[in-house]
Structure 1
Amino acid sequence: MSDFHLIPRVTITHTPTPLEHLPRLSNDLGCNLYIKRDDCTGLAGGGNKTRKLEYLIADAQKQGADILVTVGGLQSNHARQTAAAAAKFGFQCELVLEDVAGTPKTDYYHNGNMLLDRLLGAKIHELGQNQDASEYVEALLTQLRNAGRKPYFIPMGGSNVLGSLGYVRCANELLQQLEKDNIHIDQIVLASGSAGTQAGLLAGLIAAKSDIPVLGIAVSRSTQDQEQLVTELLKETLTKLGINPDEANVRVFANGNYYGEGYGITTPAMISAVQVCAQLEGILLDPVYTGKAMAGFMDLCNTGVIKPNSNQLFLHTGGSQGLFGYQESF
């Protein structure tokens, strides 16, 4: 961990993000629930990608890039935050966005994150459901380089080792908050997609010798596939930090039972979870990530898998801007 603070990063995130107790929801679920408000990171509406972009933007600057290129679904929160970071640091931005089958379409193409991407000045490449995003990105990067540009590619979700370092920092921030407020946490629960948030958080906890378990509720994959994805990235991140990668072996837990028919496709449980959090705590979740994670968390509480009266922490990774693209579902 000795060199961690020497890795270049820019400052974007409003830190520390709040740590709040949710008394009404706790009462409803029979556990003691806290929430880490990473929807409040500040960048064009906030969200978890802001922390990752601090390292990715610094790397893009170091490499002399002049244009950021990234990929995601049409309503990608990561794409919105990348477009905002590009605007803030003077990069141009090109977003390769895939249409997602089975999502509600009335507002999907023009509202929510799509509206904000355009407002932030990003150039959007909309792909049909049958187009291959990685092939498209390769061709785009080649085209930009041939035109004399210096593109910097950010992977889906900003979830590589460099991006994950944002959540190593978050782990430290969270542990300091828990110590200051004298709170003991039995488990951290979060939405797990491209794996960078869960892997980074676990790497930070391992580095700090904290044994708090982390459960990732998968938003697009089976339990086994999600655990494998997180484990691989966690091992790479630990290696980057100079920590034995074998420490990853018993730390990765995911649950793939709650994403429904697929990524971004609504479930009745997600809709209910979003409504309950809004109406009991005034907290806005999102339809793709935190809504499904909260639906899973609620079910695990209701079925007794999560022990009554235990101290649980939900990491809110943001994304409520996506609600406006899903209006018809609510």
Structure 2
Amino acid sequence: MDLSRFPRRQYTEGFSAIEFLPNFTRALGGPKVWIKRDDMLGLAPGGNKTRKLEFLMGDALAKGADTLITCGAPQSNHCRITLSAAVKEGLKCRFVIEERVPNSYDPNASGNNFMYRLLGVEAITVVPGGTNMAEAMEKMAAEARSQGRKPYIIPGGGSNAVGGLGYVACAQELQQQLFEMGQPMDYVVVGSGSSGTHGGLVAGFLGNNIRIPLVGIGVSRDPSDQNPLVLKEAQAIMDLLQTGIRVPQEAVVSHGDWWRPKYSVPNPAMVEAVQMLARTEAILLDPVYTGKIMAGLIGLSRKGFFKPEDNVLFLHTGGATALHAYESVILGDPLAAK
């Protein structure tokens, strides 16, 4: 899969590390858990959106953009990293924030909301849950155009075919790393939300003949709703790359048992996962995404889906900045998170 014809900005030197987690593996009782540290990618302070933004920013700059417009929920990691990229490139950045949980946006909150202010977001518009975000961003873009700007709209999560190229590149990187390590993997576990990361890996695994089962853990939807989104994203990437490959439905697997009660709302399994990885390996997860994804890995292990002898790679997509907005939940009684 040739990515060289697409404009790209490079924000990370080298590959993100793959580490074995011996203490966590012992605490869990197997399988053997490894982690790919995409939380350590470039752009403050790292995360999966950096890979997507390398291609999205390449496209934006090639089109002469001077203002980025994107959207997300309160405490959005995607918004924070998009803003970081804008700062790096000397562009302005504006957000549309969707209050999926009513009254959840606090402009003076810590976590990513603090980072928005520190990094200098130009404008934030808050809209109620269920708003058509594409229309809301286009309205913001029209306002920017009326001011003589050249806006570039980035969808939520950076999830479109251009952004998905970042995780095709990740699949190629992973294939090279595992070859050099001489370490086969039985499964790769990835978060499945706006679908760009999961869909990009599905496309990258198929296109590069990587025959490792890819297990998605939903952070906002059950498989019946999530899998079609991932399939559509993977196919859009294949079409953009002109591979001629049709993505089969069975290539998309996700589990939806760990995201409830709602997107971004804590639950006890997430609290356990965040505490467990912090206290065994000193690695930080976030409450909205990686905490629930790791809760899925733990839950599937306890159900016997993963066997003790399996090697399972967890893709750490970042987001620890948001931990600071959830301190009382993470450090309190896990049952209080219900």
Give me the TM-score of the superposition, normalised by structure 1.
Answer: 0.95
Backbone CA RMSD of aligned residues: 1.7
Whichever residue aligns with residue 129 of structure 1, its letter is: P
> What is aligned with 2:72?
72
> What is aligned with 1:155?
155
Report SS of the residue matched to 1:237. helix
Of stretches 114-123 and 276-285 in structure 1, the one that deviates more from structure 2 is 114-123
Give, in whole Å, the separation in 1 of the partners of 2:249 and 2:239: 13
Contact (CA 8 Å) 2:102, 2:129: kept in 1 or not? Answer: no
- In structure 2, the CA distance between the partners of 1:305 and 1:102, relative to structure 1 (3 Å rule), is farther
Whichever residue aligns with residue 199 of structure 1, its letter is: G
Give, in whole Å, the separation in 1 of the partners of 2:265 and 2:129: 17
Give, in whole Å, the separation in 1 of the partners of 2:239 and 2:191: 24
- In structure 2, the CA distance between the partners of 1:272 and 1:102, relative to structure 1 (3 Å rule), is farther
Report SS of the residue matched to 2:128. coil
Alignment of 1:209-248 (within 5 A): 209-248=209-248
- In structure 2, the CA distance between the partners of 1:103 and 1:205, relative to structure 1 (3 Å rule), is farther
Alignment of 1:139-218 (within 5 A): 139-218=139-218
Whichever residue aligns with residue 216 of structure 2, its letter is: G
Of stretches 317-326 and 129-138 in structure 1, the one that deviates more from structure 2 is 129-138
Q: After superposition, give the CA deviation of every residue in 1:181-240 in whole Å (9 maximum; x if it has no partner).
A: 111101100111111111111211112111111111000011111111000010111122
Give, in whole Å, the separation in 1 of the partners of 2:146 and 2:125: 22
Report SS of the residue matched to 1:116. helix
Instruction: Compute the displacement of 1:244 (Å).
Output: 3.0
Instruction: Compute the displacement of 1:14 (Å).
Output: 3.5
Moved over 6 A (4+): 102-105
Give, in whole Å, the separation in 2 of the partners of 1:235 and 1:131: 26
Report SS of the residue matched to 2:144. helix
Instruction: Compute the displacement of 1:138 (Å).
Output: 2.4
Amino-acid identity (%): 43
Give, in whole Å, the separation in 1 of the partners of 2:143 and 2:103: 31
- Does residue 1:48 correspond to 2:48, yes or no? yes
Alignment of 1:1-330 (within 5 A): 1-2=1-2, 4-29=3-28, 30-101=30-101, 109-129=108-128, 132=131, 133-330=133-330
Report SS of the residue matched to 1:250. helix
Instruction: Compute the displacement of 1:126 (Å).
Output: 4.1
Contact (CA 8 Å) 1:104, 1:326: kept in 2 or not? Answer: no
Report SS of the residue matched to 1:81. helix
Whichever residue aligns with residue 65 of structure 2, its letter is: A
Give, in whole Å, the separation in 1 of the partners of 2:124 and 2:102: 20
Give me the TM-score of the superposition, normalised by structure 2.
Answer: 0.93
Instruction: Compute the displacement of 1:114 (Å).
Output: 0.8
Unaligned runs of 5+ in 2: 331-338
Give, in whole Å, the separation in 2 of the partners of 1:15 and 1:97: 33
Instruction: Compute the displacement of 1:243 (Å).
Output: 2.0
Instruction: Compute the displacement of 1:28 (Å).
Output: 2.2
Whichever residue aligns with residue 309 of structure 1, its letter is: E
Alignment: residue pair count: 328
